[in-house]
């Protein structure tokens, strides 16, 4: 059954995303594209629809690596040897350039391919099973939710995309084959970020958002409903436009090599990257390639200022340096225009028509400050010294180490020991296999022979372990006492600091605040710094202390997260003085808090109670609740972000 793909030209708006995808087809050497955006913004739809616009290519008949029939640079070793013998193009077939989607949960062996170690040990010959990187050679590799992909797989994909070769090595036996492809990744920043050094490896980066214009939103719904009712008719209706766009892309592909990168354009590119303080030179090179591809697409003979300007929008925003507390990146169209003007020096040119409209900045709403009953604290931007005297924790439960836990991981992670295989041996442990065979020689009567025979029962496979992240949930008192001490400000800074290292440790951080008469989940557990900035920017403080509601919501949130991420460890960090004055079920406020604390004690989560009472000996509510929850109790008094980060991480 043939699956009908939604037409590329039928996608409403999202012009930046579509333009970036087109440029990667015109010049695959641009370096791939990362598409960041909210759910339901046509990211996956656009990438899958791109396959209909891709041109046909010639591949060597019968080769699993899609080798080029006459270009040795795009051939595997076997095809290159055959080509050198004859000096003639190898027998070929024509096929459509492909978009290969990386399956969810793909293993390392599935991605890079694998050497059949059992056959190598028994026969002495290499036997290679091609993986996805062989299948995608000279095509597009699409990775959905690339920010959730394990680190080692992301590194493998980026290295292969940059080098154009896939290297596979197992126990000293190696194999390589060409793997030139365009990497396309999509992600929702709310679910976690990519490391900055990985972001920089993508040539283009596009931020997509939901459409706000009502008329345009209606058009999105109308087209989608028409497609769902009759996919064949809808695709046929839009096919002429897709074909026209495909022809324009093919024309631009042929023309891009002849586009002139003038000294003026090169000066503008270098000036922009210098003024915006772009690290390294990858941004300059990628910007030059993108500007040339744009010029070819628009039918220009040389790169113009407007091409440079539009290329900057696609190439530079994700390369801008910014501090942890910055709300927005410092990239701006105005800065690009100023750099272009500076590079022109003397020769004036025609006014540049902006390819994208500048967003209008709206003034903050006016209001009467006298009517406000709550206060909002900003995020501290101070630099903290994380060395301080060690605090002795009280309570029966030991303090969590803060380190990511180890979890078994087939075909990935660190090799820690060898085990017997289950089913067909994969990821063979050559050292343990040979030791087992050597110890078995005497028992099998092979002691006098020089040849070591490997039998199936000698084979051992590797047991690997990888890091499993934690879910760190802050349950913070935002009532009047906390507001007066401005400790919410320090809590926000601590959360941002923890999220900065969250990608490396695969941790997620969330925040619950309780104040007034209820508790609310301000920040769902996330690894995204951008999401945290938006949600933490304005948190009101003041009012009463519904402690029981905060603890109950914290327990419910951790239970839900455990169902979604069963391998994660959970840590609840309660920041409060323990004084409850709002009941949960109409009873005594403190009794309700004690009941919830007993339920938390039964949960598998670690708990840390940070007592912010200035004089904890006066009441001891925090100590008593920590004892009931079996929590690590730490009397803090005045909270500061540096100390909080050190305790948790």
Please give the positions annotated as active site: 282
d(CA 587, CA 576): 21
CA 491 – CA 639 distance, rounded (Å) = 8
Report the sign of the C-alpha dihedral through residues 137, 140, 143, 147, in that order: positive
Contact 93, 58 (CB under 8 A): yes
The whole-angstrom separation of Cα 459 and Cα 446 is: 17
Quick one: angle between helices 621-629 and 589-602, nearest 10? Answer: 30
Q: Report the alpha-carbon distance of residue 156 to residue 142 in Å, rounded.
A: 14
Q: Are 93 and 59 in contact (CB under 8 A)?
A: yes
Rounded CA-CA distance 63/134 in Å is 10
Return phi, psi of residue 250, to 5°: -60, -40
In the Cβ-directed half-sphere of 262, how many Cα atoms lie within 13 Å?
A: 14
CA distances from 472 to 351, 400, 645 (A): 53, 11, 11
Contacts of 279 (CB under 8 A, 6+ apart): 200, 319, 321
148: left (phi > 0), else alpha (psi -120 to 50), else beta?
alpha
The phi and psi torsions of 339 (rounded to 5 degrees) equal -70, -40
Q: Are 53 and 246 in contact (CB under 8 A)?
A: yes
Which of 323, 322, 649 lies closest to 494, judged by CA? 649
Strand partners, 512: 475, 521
**In whole angstroms, what separates CA 303 from the centre of its chain?**
33
Q: List Cβ neighbours of 340 (8 Å cut-off, separation of 6 or more).
A: 268, 271, 272, 305, 308, 309, 352
**CA 375 to chain centroid:** 34
| Residue matched to tokens 């026209």 | 244
CA-to-CA distance for 330 and 309, rounded, in angstroms? Answer: 16
d(CA 486, CA 541): 9
Rounded Cα distance between 143 and 542, Å, is: 45
Residue 482 near residue 488 (C-beta atoms within 8 A): yes
Contact 97, 56 (CB under 8 A): yes
Cα distances (Å, whole numbers) of residue 31 to 141, 259, 397, 433 = 12, 19, 50, 41
The alpha carbon of residue 637 and the mean position of all alpha carbons in its chain are separated, in whole angstroms, by 38
- How far is Cα 180 from Cα 32, in angstroms, rounded to an integer? 11
């Amino acid at each position: 059954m043939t699956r009908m793909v939604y037409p590329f030209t039928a996608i409403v708006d999202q012009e930046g995303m579509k333009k970036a995808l087109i440029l990667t087809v015109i010049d695959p050497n641009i370096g791939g594209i990362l598409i960041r955006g909210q759910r339901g913004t046509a990211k996956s739809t656009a990438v899958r629809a791109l396959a209909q616009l891709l041109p046909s290519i010639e591949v060597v008949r019968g080769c699993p690596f899609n080798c080029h029939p006459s270009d040795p640079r795009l051939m595997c070793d076997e095809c290159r040897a055959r080509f050198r013998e004859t000096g003639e193009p190898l027998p070929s077939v024509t096929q459509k350039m492909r978009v290969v989607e990386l399956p969810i949960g793909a293993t390392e062996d599935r991605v890079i391919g694998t050497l059949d170690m059992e056959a190598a040990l028994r026969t002495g010959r290499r036997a290679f099973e091609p993986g996805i990187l062989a299948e995608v050679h000279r095509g597009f590799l699409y990775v959905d939710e690339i920010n959730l992909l394990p680190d080692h797989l992301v590194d493998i994909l980026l290295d292969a995309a940059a080098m154009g070769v896939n290297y596979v090595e197992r126990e000293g036996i190696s194999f390589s084959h060409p793997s030139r492809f365009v990497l396309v990744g999509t992600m929702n920043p709310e679910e976690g970020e990519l490391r900055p050094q990985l972001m920089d490896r993508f040539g283009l980066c596009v931020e997509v958002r939901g459409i706000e214009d009502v008329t345009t939103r209606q058009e999105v719904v109308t087209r989608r409903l028409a497609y769902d009712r009759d996919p064949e008719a809808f695709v046929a209706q839009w096919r002429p436009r897709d074909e026209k766009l495909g022809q324009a892309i093919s024309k631009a592909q042929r023309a891009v090599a002849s586009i002139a990168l003038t000294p003026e354009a090169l000066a503008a590119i270098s000036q922009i990257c210098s003024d915006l303080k772009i690290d390294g030179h990858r941004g300059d090179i990628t910007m030059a390639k993108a500007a040339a591809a744009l010029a070819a697409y628009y039918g220009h003979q040389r790169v113009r200022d407007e091409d440079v300007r539009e290329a900057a929008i696609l190439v530079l925003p994700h390369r801008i340096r910014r501090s942890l507390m910055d709300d927005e990146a410092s990239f701006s169209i105005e800065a690009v225009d100023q750099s272009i003007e500076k590079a022109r020096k003397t020769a004036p040119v025609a006014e540049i028509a902006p390819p994208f409209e500048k967003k209008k900045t709206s003034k903050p709403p006016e209001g009467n400050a006298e009517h406000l009953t709550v206060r909002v604290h900003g995020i501290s931007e101070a630099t903290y010294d994380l060395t301080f005297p060690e605090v002795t924790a009280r309570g029966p439960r030991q303090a969590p180490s803060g380190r990511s836990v180890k979890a078994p991981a087939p075909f990935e992670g660190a090799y820690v020991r060898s085990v017997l295989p289950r089913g067909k041996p994969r990821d063979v442990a050559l050292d343990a296999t040979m030791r087992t065979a050597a110890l078995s020689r005497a028992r099998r009567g092979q002691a006098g022979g020089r040849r070591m025979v490997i039998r199936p029962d000698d084979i051992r496979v590797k047991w690997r372990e990888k890091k499993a992240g934690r879910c760190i949930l802050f349950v913070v008192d935002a009532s009047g006492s906390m507001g007066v001490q401005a400790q919410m400000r320090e809590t926000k800074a601590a959360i941002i600091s923890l999220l900065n290292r969250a990608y490396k440790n695969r941790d997620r951080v969330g925040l619950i605040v309780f104040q007034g008469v209820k508790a609310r989940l301000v920040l769902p557990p996330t690894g995204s710094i951008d999401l945290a900035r938006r949600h933490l920017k304005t948190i009101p403080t003041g009012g009463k202390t519904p402690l029981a509601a905060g603890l109950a919501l914290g327990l419910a949130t951790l239970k839900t997260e455990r169902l979604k991420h069963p391998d994660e460890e959970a840590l609840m960090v309660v920041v409060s003085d323990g004084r409850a004055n709002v009941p949960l079920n109409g009873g005594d406020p403190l009794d309700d808090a004690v009941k919830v604390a007993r339920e938390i004690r039964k949960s598998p989560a670690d708990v840390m109670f940070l007592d912010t009472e200035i004089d904890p000996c006066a009441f001891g509510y925090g100590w008593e609740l920590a004892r009931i929850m079996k929590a690590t109790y730490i009397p803090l008094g005045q909270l500061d972000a540096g100390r909080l980060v050190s305790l948790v991480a």
